[in-house]
Amino acid sequence: MPSLNPSHEQLAEFAARMPAGQPILMLNLLRYNADASYPQGSEHAACSGREAYKRYSRTAIAKVQGVGGRVEILAPVQVALIAPPGESWDEMLLVRYPSPEAFLAMISDPEYQAATVHRTAALADSRLIGTTPPTA
């Protein structure tokens, strides 16, 4: 079963378990639909999953920067070396936020929420994993 958007329970667990006020890194694993899967009757022009993700990214990157975050890495995935058979990803994305609160504020933003229709249409599956950067 694909995982595309966090549930209220997952967001509550994220808020409870991530260290408040501390920088975080969010690892995104992305698998695109060949063709974007917009809801029936949508006014959005047909496009590939990658193009739909680019539509989402135009707003998302501005919102990431608006809360003080930045994209650290965006790279194509070549192979999943240790993974269940058949599991594959198209890209990985690592985004730094100044805090979990900044991330939660971003995803609550109405403009960001409106753009997620493109992300949902773009992706066949995804993972979003919260981490803390190493301290050195």
Measured torsion, CA atoms of residues 67, 32, 28, 77, in degrees rounded to the nearest 10: -130
Q: Could you report the per-residue pLDDT of 52-82, keeping only the tens digit for each?
A: 999 999 999 999 999 999 999 999 999 999 9
Q: Residue 72: what pLDDT?
A: 97
Establish if 41 belongs to a structural domain. yes
For residue 39, what is the domain's CATH number?
Answer: 3.30.70.100
Q: And the tokens for 34?
A: 């060949």
Strands 24-32 and 123-131: antiparallel
Q: Could you report the per-residue pLDDT of 27-59, keeping only the tens digit for each?
A: 999 999 999 999 988 899 899 999 999 999 999
Identify the domain containing residue 60 by its residue range.
34-131
Establish if 12 belongs to a structural domain. no
> Based on the structure, what is the number of domains in the chain?
1
Q: Residue 135: what pLDDT?
A: 78
The number of beta carbons lying within 10 Å of the beta carbon of residue 85 is 5
